[in-house]
Amino acid sequence: MDDCHRYRVEPGSRPRLADLDPAEHEGATGKREAKARIEATGRRLRELQYLLYAENRRSLLVCLQALDAGGKDGTIRHVLGYMNPQGCRVHAFRVPNEEEAARDFLWRVHRRTPRRGEVAIFNRSHYEDVLVARVHGLVPKAVWSRRYAAINEFERLLHENGTHILKFFLHISKEEQLRRFRKRLEDPGRQWKISEADYEERRYWDDYQLAYEDALHHCSTAHAPWYVIPADHKWYRNLAVSQILLQTLEGLQLQLPPPRVDLEAIRRRYHRELADKDGRED
Amino acid sequence: MDDCHRYRVEPGSRPRLADLDPAEHEGATGKREAKARIEATGRRLRELQYLLYAENRRSLLVCLQALDAGGKDGTIRHVLGYMNPQGCRVHAFRVPNEEEAARDFLWRVHRRTPRRGEVAIFNRSHYEDVLVARVHGLVPKAVWSRRYAAINEFERLLHENGTHILKFFLHISKEEQLRRFRKRLEDPGRQWKISEADYEERRYWDDYQLAYEDALHHCSTAHAPWYVIPADHKWYRNLAVSQILLQTLEGLQLQLPPPRVDLEAIRRRYHRELADKDGRED
């Protein structure tokens, strides 16, 4: 787990998802210890987020993709929930609305990119336009196949403007998905959100795997890598994502900016004067 | 503290800030116990936020106002940080940019209001337009004095559309502000954000108190109450805000919506069938 970059898809390579075990939990000693480590990592992530904000030069964009019940919401809750909400925005991209559908596929995504100092989390992303759009034939192949290059150029533009991009595919098995669907069926707190479409989509499982493989192959770049996270075990998924976030942010060597004012002059000018005036300061 | 609605400004009344003790910490037994209670409240707030989201009928808008160093950021970090970032947005309103200044004062605020099921937190708000705008004469009295009515109508519109509004004025003393400024001066993690303007604004302290009193007087309504929170003690401020949030959300009697599908039919149709097909299900 300390070498969590092993889950990174090397640029140009083509992962076979069937060969990657979604139930892997290598090197981690167990759920309880993982939780403690995620908690400690979360506190450090918050400190690093503060430095990112203070530095005000760079930003972080986290894209989460998965099949239904893959754990996008849970990852946000358990890992990204450590971030200070001031300075961290989550955007869930659903079916495009009329305003969005009337533009190119990157328009709605571009306007949600993080500003300097900010963290943005995409719950689903522009990758839906080479996944669901492809699997369901929403656009012809001539259209979706050109999108990989558009995505790479777009992500390069963001990167060159100081945005660090991490893309996570939360990889679960077909059996684990069904297990989670069944749990939802028996959980009164979540029955309200069950839809038949969840089940219908399982018919396209293999098509989705292929579409993901192509997206991972074409769009894992040095400046915007994809990670395939074994996600059958929720605690391991959270641990892996938190460690990758941690190592990425530590790697930025974020620095507090220097004071903008002469602190000594401020001390002389205001604190003594005000202390005298108020008569209450020590 | 259990009757935290004592900090609510009764509609029509006119609080005198000089008579309200910013260092009050009535009924709370101390910092340590307060922290434990804030933590427990935070967990419950997260559950209630989930219900708000699931119900998808109403929303919550929290406006935070204070003089500099009054604790807006700290309140967000320590109280509102318990919210799930998916479904909770923080907007910091600074000096209006050119796009914003080219419209009426409510334009930029209106587009940030929460959607159904969402929590929005305003770090500063439309109230700046009857506070800083008044104190510094950015607009003539004829303009800012008409804004109270515009604000009340705007907030009524939101309320009638299902948005519950809580407005907190974090009330600190002039001495406490200076104490916090001094701490910042000696804190390497925060020296970068010190500006001389912070100190300059202290000259207008009394003007701000008066401007706040007028805003509290004109704009504390049954549907969008103002609360004056004693904020010299950070832990007490956090406790008070968290309890008011809790009581407000509990008062909404949020309910999970019923399932949208026939759960029994789903069980019959998919789970048995898939269990057979996959041959791995119990």
The answer, yes or no, to whether residue B282 has pLDDT greater than 70, is: no
Q: What is the pTM of this model?
A: 0.92
Q: Both tokens of residue B248?
A: 């407000």
Indicate yes or no: CB of A271 within 8 angstroms of CB of B185.
yes
pLDDT-above-90 percentage for chain A:
90
Indicate yes or no: CB of B175 within 8 angstroms of CB of A281.
yes
Q: Both tokens of residue B25?
A: 């910490």
pLDDT tens digits for range A107-121: 999 999 999 999 999
DSSP secondary structure string for all residues of A136-177: TTSS-HHHHHHHHHHHHHHHHHHHHTTEEEEEEEEE--HHHH
The answer, yes or no, to whether residue B214 has pLDDT greater than 60, is: yes
A229 three-class SS: strand
The per-residue pLDDT for A29 is: 73
Distance (Å, whole) CA A215 – CA A167: 11
The per-residue pLDDT for B272 is: 76
**Residue from the list A81, A175, A280 with its beta carbon closest to the beta carbon of B85:** A81
Mean pLDDT of the region B164-189: 96
Please tell me which residue of chain B has the smallest CA distance to A264. Answer: B185
Indicate yes or no: CB of B257 within 8 angstroms of CB of A192.
yes
**Residue from the list A87, A192, A274 with its beta carbon closest to the beta carbon of B258:** A192
- Cβ atoms B238, B38 nearer than 8 A: yes
Compute the 3-state secondary structure of chain A and give helix, strand, coil in percent, each to the nearest 5.
Answer: 55, 10, 35
The per-residue pLDDT for B2 is: 66
Q: How confident is the prediction for chain A on average, in pLDDT?
A: 94
> pLDDT-derived band of residue A272, with 50, 70 and 90 as boundaries?
confident
Direct distance between the N- and C-terminal alpha carbons of chain A, in angstroms, rounded to an integer: 52
Indicate yes or no: CB of B73 within 8 angstroms of CB of A86.
yes
- Cβ atoms B165, B245 nearer than 8 A: no
Mean pLDDT of the region B164-186: 96
Please tell me which residue of chain A has the smallest CA distance to B278. Answer: A175
- Cβ atoms B119, B49 nearer than 8 A: yes
Mean pLDDT of the region A166-170: 98
The answer, yes or no, to whether residue B228 has pLDDT greater than 50, is: yes
Identify the CA nearest to B121 among candidates B181, B45, B234.
Answer: B45
The per-residue pLDDT for B5 is: 81
The answer, yes or no, to whether residue A30 has pLDDT greater than 80, is: yes
The residue that leads in pLDDT, A271 or B253, is B253
Direct distance between the N- and C-terminal alpha carbons of chain B, in angstroms, rounded to an integer: 52
The answer, yes or no, to whether residue A91 has pLDDT greater than 60, is: yes
Starting at the earlier edge strand, list the strands of the sheet with B88-92: B88-92, B119-123, B59-66, B163-171, B226-230
Place of tokens 């100190």: B199
pLDDT-above-70 percentage for chain B:
95
Distance (Å, whole) CA B87 – CA B115: 9
Indicate yes or no: CB of B271 within 8 angstroms of CB of A193.
no
**Residue from the list B175, B181, B182 with its beta carbon closest to the beta carbon of A280:** B175
pLDDT tens digits for range B96-119: 999 999 999 999 999 999 999 999
pLDDT tens digits for range B41-88: 999 999 999 999 999 999 999 999 999 999 999 999 999 999 999 999
The residue that leads in pLDDT, B275 or B268, is B268
The per-residue pLDDT for A271 is: 80
The CATH code of the domain that includes A21 is: 3.40.50.300
The sign one gets for the Cα dihedral B198, B201, B206, B208 is: negative
Q: How many domains is chain A built from?
A: 1
pLDDT-above-70 percentage for chain A:
95
User: Chain A residues with CB inside 8 Å of B257's CB?
Assistant: 192
The per-residue pLDDT for A275 is: 62
DSSP secondary structure string for all residues of B92-122: E--S--HHHHTS-TTHHHHTTSPPTT-EEEE
The per-residue pLDDT for B29 is: 73
Distance (Å, whole) CA A89 – CA B250: 26
Range of the domain at A175: 4-281
- Cβ atoms B271, A182 nearer than 8 A: yes
H runs (alpha helix) in B8-85: 31-55, 72-78
The answer, yes or no, to whether residue B277 has pLDDT greater than 70, is: no
- Cβ atoms A184, A190 nearer than 8 A: yes
The per-residue pLDDT for A281 is: 42
Mean pLDDT of the region A203-229: 98
Q: Both tokens of residue B263?
A: 């759960």
- Cβ atoms B35, B252 nearer than 8 A: no
Indicate yes or no: CB of B271 within 8 angstroms of CB of A76.
no
The answer, yes or no, to whether residue A241 has pLDDT greater than 90, is: yes
H runs (alpha helix) in chain B: 31-55, 72-78, 98-101, 107-110, 132-135, 141-160, 174-186, 196-200, 205-219, 234-251, 263-266, 273-278
B245 touches chain A (CB under 8 A): no
- Name residue B259's amino acid: P
Indicate yes or no: CB of B281 within 8 angstroms of CB of A175.
yes
The per-residue pLDDT for B275 is: 62
Mean pLDDT of the region A149-159: 98
- Cβ atoms B61, B163 nearer than 8 A: yes
The ipTM estimated for the assembled molecules is 0.89
pLDDT tens digits for range B146-155: 999 999 999 9
Measured in whole angstroms, the distance separating CA B137 from the mean position of its chain's CA atoms is 26
User: Chain A residues with CB inside 8 Å of B179's CB?
Assistant: 281
